[in-house]
Amino acid sequence: MMVKEVIDERLLEKIRRVKLLILDVDGVLTDGRIIMDDAGLESKAFDVRDGQGLKILMRFGIDVVLLTGRRSRVVEHRAADLGITEVHQGIWNKTDAFIEIIGRRNINSEETACVGDDVVDIPLFRRTGFSAAVADAVPEVRDLADYVTHHGGGRGAVREVCEVILRAQNRWADVAARYEFA
């Protein structure tokens, strides 16, 4: 995928400013399904390529925050596995959390990106510099997004967004050099 083929220059400028990526979890890092066993223990499936994309993104200087309306120990474990140190769970007012996050980091909203899939993510889409909806997001979210992924939630959408950001910021050659695939 070549970023310049799918994104116009105005949007490239927005993506080039990104310093922080905020992710919803259910429906973005997962396919939205929640599996519970007879004991009430929850499990979720995560795409390994999404995780690798996030690790690469963080290695190249973009911070990642998880911001989700549900609470789950599974999310804590996945975040720790990926090296994501800031996780906000049980958040229904994502706007207040967003304002607190960027204030503490001393960045402005134009330097942020978010990925979402449902109507609870719309307030963030209206505040962040770059918004991306997963391919299987609800129509209202897809319509509002700056970018709609080719992949669904939990199926490579986050990896795709990571690559879009790194390519727009002209960092993909650095990734290629580090992993010797160019």
Please give the sequence-ordered ranges of beta strands (E in DSSP) within 48-157, or none if there are none: 63-67, 86-88, 112-116, 130-133, 147-148
| Count of structural domains within the chain | 1
- pLDDT digit string (tens) for 68-90? 999 999 999 999 999 999 999 99
pLDDT at 4 over 70: no
- The CATH number of the domain holding residue 71 is 3.40.50.1000
pLDDT at 97 over 90: yes
List the domain range (segments joined by +) for residue 124.
3-179
DSSP state of 181: -
Can you read off the two tokens belonging to residue 107?
Answer: 């960045």
Contact by Cβ (8 Å): 131, 145: yes
Res. 152 pLDDT band, cuts 50 70 90 = very high
- pLDDT digit string (tens) for 99-142? 999 999 999 999 999 999 999 999 999 999 999 999 999 999 99
- pLDDT digit string (tens) for 160-181? 999 999 999 999 888 888 877 7
Q: What is the pLDDT of residue 79?
A: 98
State the pTM of this model. 0.93
